[in-house]
Amino acid sequence: MSSTTTDLHTYGGWRRSRSLGLGSLDTRQTVMLLLGVLVPLLAGVLLGVRAAVILAPAGLITALLAVARRGGVLVMDAGLAWLRWRWADWRTRTIVLGQMVTPMPERWDLPGVLAPTRLLDVADPGRGRIGVVWNQRSGHMTATLLLSPSGALLADPATVNRQVANWGHLLATLADDVTIQHAAVTVELVPEPGTQLADHVQTRLATDAPALAQQVISELTAMAPRASAQVRARLSLTCDPSVGTTSPRDVDRAVAEVLRSLGGLAISAAGAEILRRASATDLIRIIRTAYDVDAEPVSTGWEKLRWADARPEHARERYDHYQHEGSYSMSWVLLEAPRQRVAHDVLLSLLSPGQYRRRVTLTYRTLPRDVAGALLEQEVNAAAVREEYKRRTRRDPTARDRADANRAARAAIEEAHGAGLVQWSLYVTTTAPSRAELAQARREVEQAAGHARLKLRLAYGGQAAAFASGLPCGVYPGDR
């Protein structure tokens, strides 16, 4: 962290985790490259030239797959994703039909990666009821805090610096709780047609009010912006109650462990106020309105719904978008963080309301202290191996290699002095009312991401999973 000419700090030092390998390659790519080169050579030495000629095309293809990239992604990974999606699509695993359409017996409440989840409506002493999403496959439990971010546009530099430092401290303290697996911060932007203010005022005008007062109110309503948006924020914390020396053996004690972890978060110091802990009704409404945007205006009757009622009645995952309940969504994942140091408001363009519904989710995987130290030591060693390889091959290291090695060494030093380490990523989802408008919604997100200095890529073949990653259900794509 360094100070600029103003009182505001800049932030940076993010780096992609890289294993041992030749040059810019990781371990997997290095092994494939060596196999592609050495296998034909060894076959030629041991079996003759004919064997080398036969194996040479396969070796060349293997070597190319190890290094070829398209859009920042290995061609091999993109091809495997396409094959998996095609296989799932052929088996109709990409289509969801609700009970209103098909008489199939009910096995799971929600589709796709949300299928193992179950909603628990539990009592939170002193706070009423709270909803906890229980993943019955992994045993993880997720609770959500509904937030009201104060924003930093009008805050003084000292307040902004203090809030960012407190957020970093909060992330570092997550590593001290061994039950916490990961956390997710979601900001949801929901456009409104602009008639809500007029409708709100119209129903509250007194018929016997003076004519001048009615005229002034009507003019102010007409002059108000016709388009507006709701900004909602939430923090979801996912815990594994089975971790630790006092692992609970029943669901009630496991929920108590989750609530204990939730109560230890110092959110207010980081610039956001806690509205409340999300109830089961809140979670059902969030999930249902994400799939069915037409349910957004509904304000009553949510408490009567069950977890199964939150699912879509019809949804289909395409290779590059997700169709659900008559709407069309497109999701991106983070490909590369900003290379340069940035200000605290670097994500402002991505978090500003646009024409279409948008959901931005930052996910954090907390690493225990011992795991963080070992991982950073491995990263430093990998950077040293790449530097030694450059020296032995008499090739000068690039500026990017030197910067990466410096960041790895600096992160190891900071961790040795007590700093925490988290693995993070970002997911963005936009929703349009029709297939024709999806292209415009895509341009809106990609333009905002460019202003935020982020490089995103479409979640090809994984649109349904990326869509679910922004929901308060504890879905973390890195989990197995």
pLDDT, residue 132, reads 93
Mean pLDDT by 10 residues, the chain (480 residues): 56 73 72 83 83 84 82 82 89 76 57 90 83 90 88 72 84 81 92 66 77 80 66 91 69 82 79 88 94 86 89 91 93 89 87 91 83 71 70 70 72 68 90 94 93 91 93 83
Q: How many helices (H) and strands (E) does the chain have?
A: 12, 17
Neighbour tally for 356: CB within 10 Å: 21
Residue 372 lies in a domain: no
**Residue where a domain terminates, one of 10, 35, 67:** 67
**Helices 75-90 and 49-67, interaxial angle, to 10°?**
80
Whether residues 57 and 91 share a domain: the answer is no
Residue 110 lies in a domain: yes
pLDDT, residue 470, reads 93
Whether residues 25 and 113 share a domain: the answer is no
How far apart, in whole angstroms, are the C-alpha atoms of residue 260 and residue 143?
11
pLDDT, residue 3, reads 41
Q: Which domain covers residue 11, as residue numbers?
A: 1-67
CB within 8 A of 340, min separation 6: which ones? 12, 453
- What does the H/E/C string look like for 46-64? HHCHHHHHHHHHHHHHHHH
- Bridge partners of 242, per DSSP, are none
pLDDT, residue 4, reads 43
Whether residues 150 and 295 share a domain: the answer is yes
pLDDT, residue 224, reads 60
Residue 394 lies in a domain: no
* Cα three-residue angle 94-98-101, rounded to 5 degrees: 110
- Tokens for 443, please give them: 């341009």
pLDDT, residue 75, reads 83
Residue 409 lies in a domain: no
Half-sphere exposure in the Cβ direction for 15 (13 Å, CA): 23
Compute CA distances 244 → 132, 182, 260, whole Å: 20, 16, 14
Whether residues 89 and 50 share a domain: the answer is no
pLDDT, residue 151, reads 65
Whether residues 29 and 151 share a domain: the answer is no
Residue 283 lies in a domain: yes
Domain count, the chain: 2
**Residue where a domain terminates, one of 67, 94, 116:** 67
**Residue where a domain terminates, one of 34, 67, 100:** 67
Residue 464 lies in a domain: yes
How far apart, in whole angstroms, are the C-alpha atoms of residue 396 and residue 238?
45
pLDDT, residue 20, reads 65
